[in-house]
Structure 1
Amino acid sequence: MERLHADELAADVPLVQALLRSQFPQYASWRVSRLADFGSSHVLFALDRADGSERLVIRMPRQPGGSATVHKEADWLPWVGDHLAVPTPAVVGVGEPGLGYPEAWSIMSWLHGRRADGLGGLRLAEDLAEFVSQLRATTVPAAATTDERLRWYRGDSLTTLDEDFQEAAAACRTLPIALDIDRALAVWSEAVAAAATRTAEKTWYHGDLLVENLLVDEQGELAGVLDFGGLGVGDPTIDLIVAWEALDRSARLAFWNALDVDDAQIAVSRGWALLIAFLTFPYYGATMPRRCADRLVMAQAAIEGD
């Protein structure tokens, strides 16, 4: 298993099969296989009916504490997903710790589509704008306003994250990355200044709206949005970073227009794009080259700013 974290949890096919037999015997005869695609938070396994007529996906947290995300998705993804036009994963079941594995884990529905590689055009921009708009418009129940699992830094103001960015930028200077760090620092300063002028409405946000979590169909239309582990309630500006990573220039403009995004929000989104990218390069540079390549595209676009 790819080791991404110092505290990586062990999860393999025999463990998953044994957990299914003990907790979900209805799937005991289904075939379990490790998926080539993987994320930084979960190890993914395909769960296929023996006759090949149905597929589910099993997500096993990679690190201690991952149970909180599993339960958060189980509690809130059904509510949010019901308000979205684009397909999102459905929680089929939640497994408990067992057989030496210390975290909760989940069985999710399988979404069809291919990864959104390359820069998308106007149709993808329209679809993403609709997704973001619908997510923001989804009612925030009273219980969500007090659920601490829905609070994290990606729903905060950039003004609270300057020290983190400065440290990340310093680390990136030591790496062989084709980026102008000084220009990035200037863009960051402008973003923080713009963030200081804004009081954002607290809404739902995805928190990790990046190409690795987007599925498209053969026509390039949005076919699904994956991984709601970053789902939160707060300032939703973080979700605008998808424009810098997934869309070409003309499509990005269409995305801004569809969401009625002003100059201050664009400036803040550039800062978010740089922060997420600069945190990625030092940590995942040796283990997730595809992710780093995507973040490089995003960072370069955010620095250019058009």
Structure 2
Amino acid sequence: MSVCFKNSEGLLDVARLRDLWTRFRELPSAGPVVMTHRDPIPANLLVQGGRLVGVLDGGSFGPADPSLDLVVAWHLLDRERRATFRCGLQVEDLWWKRGVAWAFQQAMGLVWYYHRTNPAMSALGRSTISRILDDPDI
């Protein structure tokens, strides 16, 4: 994350985001690792008729924190839909907060890394960070 913060100077409010990252780093482990996709960003999800019908890019599939798969809620859904998603999966507070932290980490990398080469991916990072910062429960 130090690289993300350094490279995000001038692009984001780095001081505010460092403070948030410090809080995320204090979260305890959510439990043992499990097999997970590890990259469920919108570009890797196939949706038809408002329903998930497929997942692409399984190259990162492997053992990880299970809350990593919750990042999709922050990359893709507005507050109301995130609440529905969370309720439907019955996600506990700790797991939810760890999912937010993973989404934040991914988003920070997207903003600076793709700033010039892939503006759409950079914009995804920015929108995810905005969703996180705008959520009153975070």
Match of 1:221 in 2: 51
CA shift for structure 1 position 258: 2.1
Q: Which amino acid aligns with 1:193?
A: E
Against the structure 1 CA distance between its residues 266 and 183, is the aligned structure 2 distance closer, same or farther, given a 3 Å change threshold? farther
SS for the counterpart of 2:26 is helix
TM-score, length-normalised on structure 2? 0.87
Match of 2:38 in 1: 207
Cα root mean square deviation, aligned: 1.7
Q: Distance in 1 between matches of 2:14 and 2:96?
A: 20
Match of 1:272 in 2: 102
Q: Distance in 1 between matches of 2:20 and 2:52?
A: 30
Kept after mapping to 2: 8 A contact 1:244/1:273? yes
Q: 1:1-306 residue pairs with structure 2 within 5 A?
A: 165-175=1-11, 179-194=12-27, 197-217=28-48, 219-306=49-136
Q: Distance in 2 between matches of 1:220 and 1:259?
A: 17
Kept after mapping to 1: 8 A contact 2:33/2:65? yes
Match of 1:67 in 2: none
Q: Which amino acid aligns with 1:228?
A: G
- Stretches of 4+ moved more than 6 A in 1? none
User: Which protein, 1 or 2, shows the higher relative CO under an 8 Å CA cutoff with sep ≥ 6?
Assistant: 2
Q: Which amino acid aligns with 2:4?
A: A
In the alignment, structure 1 segments of 5+ residues that lack a partner are: 1-164
Q: Which amino acid aligns with 2:41?
A: L
CA shift for structure 1 position 232: 0.9
> Which protein has the bigger helix share?
2
Q: CA deviation digits over 1:156-192, x for unaligned, max 9?
A: xxxxxxxxx13311210133xxx43333222211211
TM-score, length-normalised on structure 1? 0.42
Kept after mapping to 1: 8 A contact 2:38/2:64? no
In the alignment, structure 2 segments of 5+ residues that lack a partner are: none
Q: Which amino acid aligns with 1:214?
A: L
